[in-house]
Amino acid sequence: MNSFHVMLILLSFCQWGTVLAKNSTKLSVLFIMVDDLRATANKEVNLTHIARLARNSVTFTNAFAQQALCAPSRTSLLTGRRPDSLHLYDAHSYWREQVGNFVTLPQYFKSHGYKTFSVGKIFHPGISSNYTDDYPYSWSEQPYHPPTLKYKNAPVCPDRQLKKRKRNLVCPVHVDHQPGKTLPDLESLDYAVDILEDKALKKQPIFLAVGLQKPHIPLKFPKEFLKKVPFRKIIQPLQPNKPAGMPLVAWHPWVDVRRRDDIARLDIPMPMGIMPMEWTFRIKQSYFAAALYIDDIIGALLRRVDLKRFIVVITSDHGWSLGENGMWAKYSNSDFALKVPLIIHAPGYEPRLIDSPVELLDIFPTLVELAHLSHRKVPRCASLENVTDLCFDGKSLVRMMKGDTKPSAQYAISQYPRPSKIPQINSDEPKLKDIKIMGYSIRTKRFRYTEWIGFNSMTFKKMWHKNFGTELYDYALDPYETENVHLKPEYKSLKYKLQKQLRSRVV
């Protein structure tokens, strides 16, 4: 071997050493996505482990999903683009084929030397992620789905009344009596812990996304958590019926809840029937117990994480209504359906509460900046044509995290589709071809203004002149959205100001 070859080998070792050194200084990411966790859950029941992380993190108290439905919300977050930019309002299309080959959050980290892992539900499964959870674009390895997930809607819920197992909504269980003697989120926990404790992976940066299934329905969770939510402490909704001022198009019939065996037996009239109060209490108790179960799993994850080396994000794909205004589940532009927890822990950032409105699609540019992956300013997406450059419909939240008191925008935009102004069987989840109306909503610190307008699902044209309902809520005076004040004279100038802001932002 001549001296030239020796020099090449030494140079290669030096370059590889430099790469390792650079990798060792990169912060890893633990991204935790909880399914259907409403923002107020930690106030309604003590989520100890989430609260402990929040005390040492930046917590956004006014964070909102772009659409209160799993596939559009998750795809929006993971691409940094709005449902309108993705043309995705249901769960039946794949953005790379239908709109553009947009880069995703984990894909971008992967391209910067991270090993990326998906555990549980991160992308919505099915066609909206190409039946692969967007593998291999987004992930270094095949995404993991817990084997017992196949029993998600199986008749495994003990039913004392019928003395048999049913497909119930309320489903506290003995874990040892379940198929496989476990539950999906427990399996995801074990898989994620193995990744976090893998010594080989400690030598390189990782992006670990963990998607927890509960408190998504059915409310199936270890029975012991029910004892932590005393029935006597459950509070009934302030407004358990549809408010008189709510436009009919804003209402949804929560069909998936009605179809569960225990709720179906109640024979609640479609589409406007109201949940009996006894069952309102039962469902709320089980929802909070399921949230406590997930909080325990998050605590087990965080115990394996060195917070000096990790950025940690905890959020949800959207919220969940618990009988407020007679509505359940998501499927609306209500604060209860759109507002989510958002906690970001990043080494070097002081704990802080931020009440300016932010959006889930802000997470992508925020993590890019926190991880120092891109030092140039990432532009807003000017059009759908440019699919190669990294661009976002959202904004980085890092300035706010540093204490900037003058954020660039102080509102959040959300939307929800409807097939008709009259609630019907597919009002909750209309397919694209059936969408005739789109409800666009702007949320400031104090107000939410919504217009339900005509929408052409073939051309994606918005018809502002076709109005099917208008809503305006003042959260300072009415935090439960019990009074639609858009016709009150004292709100007239505010209404037109918000209308102008909404229409200029939704183009």
In a domain, 74, yes or no: yes
In a domain, 486, yes or no: no
487 pLDDT higher than 50 = yes
Q: Mean pLDDT across the chain, nearest whole number? A: 92
In a domain, 506, yes or no: no
- Give the per-residue pLDDT at 389: 65
23 pLDDT higher than 60 = no
**pLDDT tens-place string over residues 63-101:** 999 999 999 999 999 999 999 999 999 999 999 999 989
| Lowest mean per-residue pLDDT among 67-81, 228-242, 434-448, 488-502 | 228-242
- Give the per-residue pLDDT at 8: 32
Give residue 16's pLDDT band: very low, low, confident or very high (50, 70, 90).
very low
**pLDDT tens-place string over residues 388-441:** 568 899 999 999 999 986 655 689 999 999 999 999 999 999 999 999 999 999
- Give the per-residue pLDDT at 160: 73
Query: What amino acid is encoded at 87 in this protein?
Result: H
Q: Kind and range of the H or E element at 288?
A: helix 277-302
* pLDDT over 90, % of the chain: 86
* Residue 189 domain boundaries: 3-409
- Give the per-residue pLDDT at 381: 76
314 pLDDT higher than 80 = yes
Note if the bond before 215 is cis, omega within 30 degrees: yes
Q: What is the CATH number of the domain that holds 307?
A: 3.40.720.10
Stretch 31-47: mean pLDDT: 95
- Give the per-residue pLDDT at 382: 66
Stretch 451-475: mean pLDDT: 98
Give residue 498's pLDDT band: very low, low, confident or very high (50, 70, 90).
very high
- Give the per-residue pLDDT at 165: 87
In a domain, 379, yes or no: yes
- Give the per-residue pLDDT at 407: 57
Count structural domains, the chain: 1
192 pLDDT higher than 60 = yes
In a domain, 431, yes or no: no
Q: Give the separation between CA 309 and CA 346, rounded to whole angstroms.
A: 9
178 pLDDT higher than 80 = yes
- Give the per-residue pLDDT at 162: 65
In a domain, 230, yes or no: yes
Q: Give the separation between CA 66 and CA 81, rounded to whole angstroms.
A: 9
In a domain, 491, yes or no: no
What is the set of active-site residues? 70, 124
Q: Can you give 115-176 as a three-state secondary structure string? A: EEEEEECCCCCCHHHCCCCCCCCCCCCCCECCHHHHHCCCCCEEECCCCEEECCCEEEECHH
Q: Give the separation between CA 97 and CA 152, rounded to whole angstroms.
A: 29
Stretch 367-387: mean pLDDT: 75
21 pLDDT higher than 80 = no
- Which of these, 93, 71, 72, 70, lies nearest to 84 by C-alpha position? 72
Task: Spell out the long-range contacts of 55-58 with Cβ–Cβ below 8 A and sequence spacing 24 or more.
Answer: 55/351, 56/307, 56/345, 56/351, 57/312, 57/343, 57/344, 57/345, 57/346, 57/349, 57/351, 58/343, 58/344, 58/345, 58/346, 58/349, 58/351, 58/352, 58/354, 58/397, 58/400, 58/401
In a domain, 298, yes or no: yes
- Give the per-residue pLDDT at 25: 80
